[in-house]
Amino acid sequence: MMRPLLWQSIRMLSACVLVTIFAVPPNLAAQAHIVNPSELQKQVLAASRERQKNLEIVDRFFSSPAAQKAMSIVHTDPNQVKVGVSHLSDQELAKLAQRAQKAEADFAAGSISDRDLLVIIIAALVLVVVILAATH
């Protein structure tokens, strides 16, 4: 008595599994994980533009007279700094650009002195040189 009930349960379970397998299109699961190529291109382009903007901010910051003075104080080659900045990750570059903008704004508003700006620039230079040394 128990045997026919067991076989009937096994057949029902098998039928359910087969229906599930054939009812769901095989490419449906794959489609859920595919990124639209045009969306991916837009994201890459946006990231590239953001990186370029941050590079320009940092380059302008290190090209300022105060930064040139700070580089001469710590005997740092401006070309080495430029190379170091180009090796920063997107996140590191974004943080440095944000700090550079803040320092420039604070200096322009008179919130920090020339000496304080030099200290900030030297700290930024040290950060760039350390990151450059760590990547090579």
What does the H/E/C string look like for 29-68? HHHHHCCCHHHHHHHHHHHHHHHHHHHHHHHHHHHCHHHH
Output 6 or 83, whichever has higher pLDDT: 83
For residues 80-106, average pLDDT: 89
Distance CA 100, CA 134 (A): 22
Distance CA 98, CA 49 (A): 16
Output 66 or 134, whichever has higher pLDDT: 66
Distance CA 91, CA 113 (A): 28
Calculate the CA 26 to chain-centre distance.
35
3-state secondary structure of 87: coil
pLDDT tens digit string along 4-60?
A: 666 676 777 777 666 666 666 665 555 555 778 888 888 889 999 999 999 999 999
Does residue 98 surpass a pLDDT of 70?
yes
What global pTM score does this model have? 0.68
Output 133 or 58, whichever has higher pLDDT: 58
**Residue 3: which pLDDT band, with cuts at 50, 70 and 90?**
low
Instruction: Name the token pair of 52.
Output: 């370029």
